[in-house]
Amino acid sequence: MNSARSIASTFVFLFLGFFGATSCATDRTIRAQATDYHKELEPAVLTDAELRGYLQQIGDRVVASAKELHAQKFGPKSAFKDDSSWMFSNEQFHLVNSATLNAFTTGGDHAYIYSQLMKECNNEDELAAVVAHEFGHVYARHVHKGTDRQYGVLGGALLLGAAGYAAGGEEHGQEYAAYGAGLGMIAGNFLAMGFTRDDEAEADQLGFEFHARAGWDPERFGGFFQKLIDKGLDTTPEKMSDHPSLSSRVAVAKQRAAALPATAKAWRKPPIADAQRFAALKARAEAVGKSMPNDQSLARAKLLLAAVPSCLVPQESQEQMEARATLEAAQAAEEGREAPKK
């Protein structure tokens, strides 16, 4: 069997595995799906040991606090529907090289913080708040919910990837398959589906508790959202967005901080990086990102990252819309190549 046919068969196998074996998302399928997706984004991950270790330390601290709360039966029913031990032992937090202001999770063992977002944070408390919010999506199994509504989209993505590889052949097959599957999973609304206003509000609620109990300053949980407001990114009416308004998120965070018991002061811990080291880490992330070779695999990964709808901002940026249009053009081209064969 030649490699083009082998890869196409793999996509079809994934389709049958996801949709023939089950009618709803499970931890197994979501985690496998997230692992496959990570392969497309990995070229954009900053592998610098200091940066990688730092972000993982933040993530591990969030996860540890979530694990303690889970033992206390804190959170929605979805956090307890299956064995959740994987959430507290396998989660990887990646800093990705992207000028887009964003962060997201695929719901399995991977969460992504964009280097531009880290650059915009004033302190570790703000960065940790975003990390905690993303883990809130994992904890509540929000991707599972969205995937149940979007199985048809994901199935189309896998089959489109198979068709793309077959159309591209040996020379261009991997490129076409990546654009095809990437389009179905991102521009085709796999992740955009997904996080409804209620999901985002719940991730804020869970993230606040994880963040505060992990020892960061609860008064600063809404700090990053306030920065986005100051940048003029809170102009979309809430009823027209699948996100809560930034102003409401800041207000609710302040209310939660004010409502904490007096004993919450005992939760406080020093940051992993003080102000001086945090500034140095931000500079390091920028320098490392500039030194990465901008080859085709990195360019494709950055395009996919740019196309992911924001988990933080109520409206899409011009860059996100342009990236989405590029992927939609790739889909149209793939469909055009396949049309004569039908």
Q: Is 267 buried (19+), middle (13-18) or exposed (0-12) by CB count in 10 A?
A: middle
Angle in degrees, 0-180, between the axes of helices 151-182 and 27-41, rounded to the nearest 10: 20
pLDDT of the residue at 95: 98
pLDDT of the residue at 157: 47
Measured distance CA(96)–CA(306) in Å, rounded = 11
By the 8 A CB rule, do 292 and 102 touch? no
Q: Cβ–Cβ contacts within 10 Å for residue 36, how many?
A: 18
| Paired tokens of 250 | 């800041």
Coil, helix or strand at residue 316: coil
pLDDT of the residue at 296: 86
Looking at the structure of the chain, the number of domains it has is 1
pLDDT of the residue at 176: 44
Helical ranges in 274-315 per DSSP H: 275-291, 296-307
Length of the chain: 342
Give 96's strand partners.
Answer: 45, 114
pLDDT of the residue at 313: 82
Among positive and negative, which fits the CA dihedral 244, 249, 251, 256?
A: positive
By the 8 A CB rule, do 69 and 75 touch? yes
By the 8 A CB rule, do 45 and 285 touch? no
pLDDT of the residue at 132: 98
Residues spanned by the domain of 191: 3-341
119-165: pLDDT as tens digits: 999 999 999 999 999 999 999 999 988 777 665 444 444 444 444 44
| Paired tokens of 341 | 């064969």
| Paired tokens of 116 | 């531009």
pLDDT of the residue at 335: 61
Closest CA to 95 of 286, 277, 273: 286
Coil, helix or strand at residue 85: helix
Tell me the whole-structure pTM to 2 decimals: 0.81
Q: What angle do CA 96, 104, 220 make, to 5 degrees?
A: 95
pLDDT of the residue at 294: 82
Q: Which regions in the chain score pLDDT beneath 50?
A: 1-22, 152-169, 172-173, 175-194, 338-342
By the 8 A CB rule, do 157 and 184 touch? yes
Q: Is 175 buried (19+), middle (13-18) or exposed (0-12) by CB count in 10 A?
A: middle
By the 8 A CB rule, do 38 and 181 touch? no
Q: What angle do CA 338, 25, 22 make, to 5 degrees?
A: 75
Helical ranges in the chain per DSSP H: 3-20, 27-41, 49-71, 115-120, 124-139, 142-149, 151-182, 197-213, 223-230, 246-259, 275-291, 296-307, 318-338
By the 8 A CB rule, do 143 and 106 touch? yes
Closest CA to 244 of 218, 210, 205: 205
By the 8 A CB rule, do 192 and 309 touch? yes
Measured distance CA(203)–CA(302) in Å, rounded = 25
223-267: pLDDT as tens digits: 999 999 999 988 776 666 667 899 999 999 999 999 999 999 999
